[in-house]
Every structure is written in C-alpha cells, then in structure tokens.
Amino acid sequence: MSLLIVGSVALDSVATPEGKTDDALGGSATYFSVAARLFGPPVNVVAVVGEDFPKRHIEMLLGKGVNIDGLQIAPGKTFRWAGVYDESFGDPATLDTQLNVFEHFSPKLPEQYCCSSFVFLGNIDPALQGVVVDQVKSPILIAADTMNFWIEGKLTELKKLIARVDLLVINALEVRMLSGEKGLLAGARKVLSMGPKILVIKRGEFGSMLVTKDELFVLPAYPIEAVKDPTGAGDSFAGGFMGYLASRGKVNFEELKRALVAGTVVASFNVEGFSLERLISVTSEDIRGRMEHFRKITEFTVPQCFGG
C-alpha cells in the first residue's frame, strides 16, 4: 500500500571524526523515502527544493522508484544545514541553517497522493503537519515526528496535531517535556492520553520502545562496528518503520514490533556512511539478513524453574 512522506529535502555539510561532506544530499524526506523503498511499497514525497538542486539527486530518487510528483521546485536556493558531531556521536552542533525555499514551504498534495494509505508527517511546523492531515482521505495510519523546538514554541498547535494522529515518534526527553512526568512509562501513558494509539520512543544509540495502552516492546540498538555519520539516523529509522508497515498493509502489535526492528536495522546501515551513500547501496536481502542476525543476538529463553 502507498506511503506518503512530507518533510524536507536538504543539502547538508557535515563533519564527524570520520570525515566530512559539503552540500551532500540530506533532508528527512530523502532519507525516509529511500529507506521506505527497501520494503517495496509505493512512496510519495511532498517536499520543496530550490532551482539549484542537483539533477543527479532527482535521478537517484527516480531510480529508487520514489514518486516525486509532489516535489516542488521553487525559485531560490535549496534548504541547507551544516553541523558537526564530536567523538560521542551524540546531538550535533549546528554551524549554519539556511531555510531558503523551505521557509515558505506549504505542503500541497497532488491529487493522486490523497489516497495514500500510510502517512508520515516529518518533523516540520505542526500547523503544516495539520494541513497535510486535512488533505488525506481515509488513511490506515497517520504517523508524525516532532521535536523539542515545537514542544517549546508551538505547544498548542502541536497538541492539536497529536490528537489527530495514530502514531507519534518521539524521544525520551520529549516524552518528559510533553508529559511533565519524570518516569518514561508514566510519561508515555500521558502522551497516549493526548490522542495517539501508538508511541515509538527513540533512544538513539541505546535503542527504542513501542508503547500502546496495553502493550510494550523494548529493543536495544543494533550493535555496529563503526559509525561514520549519524545524520539521517532518525529519518531512515522512520522510513524503514513505515516502509515495512506499508508493505505489509496491516497494523497490529506483531507487525509494529517487526517494523521497529526494520527501522532500527535500516538506520544501522545508514550511519555506516556519509549522507545517503550507504543507504543507497543496501538491498532488501541485506536488511533481512541483519534483521535475522538481530533476532539471534537478542533472543533468550527463561528456564521453567530455578532458585533454592
């Protein structure tokens, strides 16, 4: 079933202890759509680039089978971001942000996108996320990403948006900010009471969790040999998660668990290279292989009895 992603397409200049890029392909919609296509569903992108956006990136997206009918090309320059990661590969320091054409981005869905069954609202102004929800007809699942910036600056709009989505992707700090609860589980329950039926809680290099009213799933991070560039980890995770779900066409807790595993594995490949260089070369077979390995290194049994 078809999957809609609304987000950013950017040119990133990133420095990490492992190297650097200049004006390399980036943006949430970019990572998301390439990640999602690994699972096969039709992927529809709504985003905006400037007239300077390199044609080779357009060709790459088309080559991956991404539908870019909704990619606006606006007068001006493409959104640019520059950041640097230190040895810990934690949150990057932003050196420069040039919104350019992204500043006046207004998501407009092409007619044929309005029936997308799965919808992902990338991390943009919650008011704009709402504009997308207005345009989709009877989707199976609407998911949204957000960040501390919107919790601090647009809380009213964000709460309105949250009440309209089925699934929210959020990190542990944002759960605390949004709920006012110290405990993660108590905070998650409070966020669930605001509307979404499903929470995906990201904990970066330490894994992720899935929380619903009645169920819980915790997953460690997939242990990789060497991180090169964490940029796009969250977006490729979300793309793998939603791409998996859209390819299955149904949403239940078993499939949500597998989607979390799929997203984690896709992100683990993505951070092994700069920009999208590693993600572009990954195959569905690589993904399945690593998901199987992930199962092998996390599964255990509990003996029937022990104790004295």
Binding mask 85-114 for its own copies (x = CB under 8 A): --x---------------------------
| DSSP class per residue in 92-138 | PEEEEEE-GGGGG------GGGTT-SEEEE-SS-HHHHHHHHHH--S
Among 220, 251, 277, 280, binds its own copies (CB under 8 A): 220
Longest dimension (CA), the chain: 75
Stretch that binds its own copies, among 116-124, 150-158, 203-211, 273-281 (CB under 8 A): 203-211
A 10 A CB-CB count for 79 gives: 25
Helical (H) or strand (E) element with 73: strand 66-74
d(CA 236, CA 222): 14
**79 or 222, CB closer to its own copies?**
222
The answer to the question of residue 180 lying near its own copies (CB under 8 A) is no
Q: Identity (one letter) of the amino acid at 11?
A: L
Window 23-42: residues binding its own copies (CB under 8 A): 37-41
- Nearest alpha-carbon partner for 114 in 95, 86, 142, 93: 142
Among 217, 251, 272, 280, binds its own copies (CB under 8 A): 217
The answer to the question of residue 192 lying near its own copies (CB under 8 A) is no
> Least distance to its own copies from the beta carbon of 205, Å?
8
DSSP-derived secondary structure letter, 204: G
**3 or 6, CB closer to its own copies?**
3
Where on the chain is the footprint of its own copies (CB under 8 A)?
17, 37-41, 65, 87, 182-186, 203, 206-207, 209, 216-227, 244, 247-248, 254, 257-258, 260-261, 284-285, 287-288, 291-292, 294-295, 297-303, 305-308
